[in-house]
Homo-oligomer: A and B are copies of this chain.
Amino acid sequence: MLSFTCDYSEGACPEILRRLGETNLEQLPGYGEDKYSMRAKEKVRSVCGAPDADVFFLVGGTQTNSTIIATMLRDFEGVVAAETGHVALHEAGAVEYTGHKVLTIPGHQGKIDTDELSAFIETFFADANHEHMVFPGMVYISFPTEYGTIYTKEELDRIYRVCREADIPLFIDGARLAYGLAGDGCDLTIKDLAERCDVFYLGGTKVGALCGEAVVFPRGNAPAHFMTMVKQHGALLAKGRLLGVQFDTLMTGGLYFRLGENAVAMARRLRGILRYSGLPFYLESPTNQQFIILEEEQVEALSDKVAFDFWEKIDDNRTVVRFCTSWATTDEQLDELEAILVTITGH
- Which one of B21, B67, B128 contacts A17 once the chains associate, using CB atoms below 8 Å? B21
Segment of A4-12, A248-256, A287-295 engaged in the interface with chain B? A4-12
Do the beta carbons of B100 and A25 come within 8 Å of each other? no
| Contact size range, A | 35 or more
Do the beta carbons of A97 and B99 come within 8 Å of each other? yes
Cα A74 to Cα B101 in complex, Å, equals 18
Do the beta carbons of A12 and B30 come within 8 Å of each other? no
**Does A314 interact with chain B (Cβ within 8 Å)?**
no
- Which residue, A11, A12, A29, A307, has most C-beta atoms of chain B within 10 A? A11
- Which one of B67, B76, B206 contacts A234 once the chains associate, using CB atoms below 8 Å? B67
Do the beta carbons of A225 and B76 come within 8 Å of each other? yes
Chain B residues near A134 (CB, 8 Å)? 92-93, 96
Q: Quick one: closest B residue to A10, CB to CB?
A: B25
**Does A211 interact with chain B (Cβ within 8 Å)?**
yes
- Which one of B9, B93, B132, B239 contacts A11 once the chains associate, using CB atoms below 8 Å? B239
Do the beta carbons of A239 and B225 come within 8 Å of each other? no
Cα A280 to Cα B9 in complex, Å, equals 53
**Does A38 interact with chain B (Cβ within 8 Å)?**
no
Q: Quick one: closest B residue to A226, CB to CB?
A: B76
Segment of A58-66, A193-201, A257-265, A296-304 engaged in the interface with chain B? A58-66
Chain B residues near A210 (CB, 8 Å)? 20, 210, 239, 242
Cα A83 to Cα B173 in complex, Å, equals 26
Cα A90 to Cα B307 in complex, Å, equals 44
Do the beta carbons of A11 and B6 come within 8 Å of each other? no
Do the beta carbons of B227 and A131 come within 8 Å of each other? yes
Known: A10-B24, A20-B11, A30-B6. A211 touches B231 (CB 8 A): no
Given contacts A8-B238, A67-B234, A92-B229, 4 further A-B contacts (CB under 8 A): A3-B27, A90-B132, A93-B101, A131-B228
